[in-house]
Amino acid sequence: KLVRITDATVGQSGPGGMEFSSDAEVDGRAITIAASATRDTTTRRVTALDASVDIAEVNEAAAGGTLGAIALKLAGSEGSGENASRLTASLSFAGS
């Protein structure tokens, strides 16, 4: 497998927040990752989490490619007291 990272950034987005983004290529397929998280600076609980991974459709010239574009999305937060923790995920395929 050939993996190439073309861009990656991690940064703080205010007190208790962070962001991550990356563009990469794996065997000719473009991959984009974006994520952010924030936490309460007092309780240290994660108050928001959002992440997405998008994988482009395989280049027609690449051998053996059968999957089209793929998208994965995650969102959630830590619970407290009567509020339950939550995590939602969605996955989609296109052009398969």
Give one DSSP letter per residue of the chain, joined into a string: --EEEEEEEEEE-STTEEEEEEEEEETTEEEEEEEEEEE-TTT--EEEEEEEEEEPPPPTTSTT----EEEEEEEEE--BTTBPPEEEEEEEEE--
Return d(Cα 68, Cα 84) in angstroms, integer: 36
Domain count, the chain: 1
Average pLDDT over residues 37-57: 93
Domain limits for position 66: 3-94
Q: Which residues pair with 24 in a beta bridge?
A: 5, 31
User: In this prediction, what percent of the chain has a pLDDT beyond 70?
Assistant: 91
* Model pLDDT for residues 19-33, shown as the tens digit of each residue: 999 999 988 889 999
User: pTM value?
Assistant: 0.80
